[in-house]
Amino acid sequence: MLKWVMKPVFLILATVVFATVILAALLETDRTDTGGPVIETNVEAVLEGVGVVVSRDGKVLWKLRTDRAVMPSGSSIARLGKVDMDIPSEGLIVKANSGVYDLASSDLRLAGGVVADTGQLVLISETAMLNASTGEVTSGDDVLVEGRGFTVRGRGFWARGKELRILDEVEAQVE
């Protein structure tokens, strides 16, 4: 007799537990859910093989290529992998191991062995910052400038257009 009573009691208890779990799950759902896909926030978008062209009045100011750009959700900042940049008006090619690009201001911070080459001169520094609104490039790091028959070393630089200034601790060697 006990077996006969236990079987229905067990089934009733199992049904009550199951119904409770289902009810609890239904009550925890977001009542504002429209049934569309759920878009997760606070994620990063990773873009590979990215190119950026900045132009004014149809004239290309500079082109930037990178192997990877990581953009956090809701941010105007893109963390870049290896950077290759072309500034046609200056005949300048710039390479760096990494960078940070601000999409809102178009400012660009390069790091990890910045090399700028005009074909006549080569500038090497650990970092460089391009201010897009002024066209100025600056760095507070050690800098090396090499050209035919000369080498200049110093600390920090400022550049705009064809003008370059080494800011401190300048040493020059002429061959």
Q: How distant is the alpha carbon of residue 29 from its chain centre? A: 36
At 121, the amino acid letter reads: L
The answer, yes or no, to whether residue 170 has pLDDT greater than 70, is: yes
Q: What is the dihedral of CA 53, 59, 62, 68, to 10 degrees?
A: 10
pTM value is: 0.69
What integer pLDDT is reported at residue 36 of this predicted model? 56
| Nearest CA-CA partner of 147 in 175, 125, 111 | 175
What integer pLDDT is reported at residue 3 of this predicted model? 42
Could you tell me how many residues make up the chain? 175
Q: How far apart are alpha carbons 142 and 123 in whole angstroms? A: 11
What is the band of 87 on the pLDDT scale with cuts at 50, 70, 90?
confident
Q: What is the dihedral of CA 12, 15, 16, 21, to 10 degrees?
A: 160
Q: How far apart are alpha carbons 98 and 119 in whole angstroms? A: 22
Contacts of residue 51, Cβ cutoff 8 Å, sequence gap at least 6? 63, 64, 65
Query: What letter does residue 76 receive in the DSSP assignment?
Result: S
> What domains can you pick out in the chain, each with its CATH number?
44-174 (2.60.450.10)
What integer pLDDT is reported at residue 2 of this predicted model? 38
What is the band of 38 on the pLDDT scale with cuts at 50, 70, 90?
low
Q: How many other C-beta atoms lie within 10 A of the C-beta of residue 75?
A: 14
What is the band of 27 on the pLDDT scale with cuts at 50, 70, 90?
low
